[in-house]
Amino acid sequence: MKFQDLLAYQKSFALAMKIFEITKLFPKDEIYSLTDQIRRSSRSVPANIAESYRKRIYPRHFHSKLTDSDAENSETQVWIEFAYKCNYISIEIHNTLISESEEVGKLINYMILNPQKFGVTTEH
C-alpha cells in the first residue's frame, strides 16, 4: 500500500485543495496572514499522514506524526472559523469545511488507535 491509498490522506488532501481554491477569493491584504496560515495548516495534514506512514516501522514516530497531523487539522478549523467571522466564507462553506475536517480527524484518530492495521509492528 502507498500512503496515497490511505483514506485519511485522500480526504485531507482533497480538503487542502478545496481550501486552496476558496482562499483564492480572500482579500489580498490577507495573503501573508489568514490565507497563508490556512493553506499551510491544511497542507500539513496530508503531509504528516504521509510521513507517519513512511515511519510506521517506528511506532512512536508513527504516533507522533499522526498527532502532528491531528493538531494541524485542528489549527485548520481555527482558520476556517476566522474566515467565516471575517465574512470571507458563507456559513454553508464554513459548515462543509468543518464537517470535512472533522471527518479527517476521525480517520486520523482511527489510525492512531489501530496502528497494527497500517503495518505498525512492535517497537525496535
Mean pLDDT by 10 residues, the chain (124 residues): 96 98 96 96 98 96 98 98 98 98 98 96 65
CA-based radius of gyration for the chain: 15
Going from the C-alpha of 102 to that of each of 28, 29, 66, 106, 110, the distances in angstroms are 28, 29, 15, 6, 12
Question: Residue 123: what pLDDT?
Answer: 55
Q: 57: how many CB neighbours lie within 10 A of its CB?
A: 12
Question: Residue 43: what pLDDT?
Answer: 98
Give the amino acid at 80: I
| Cell output for 66 | 499522526
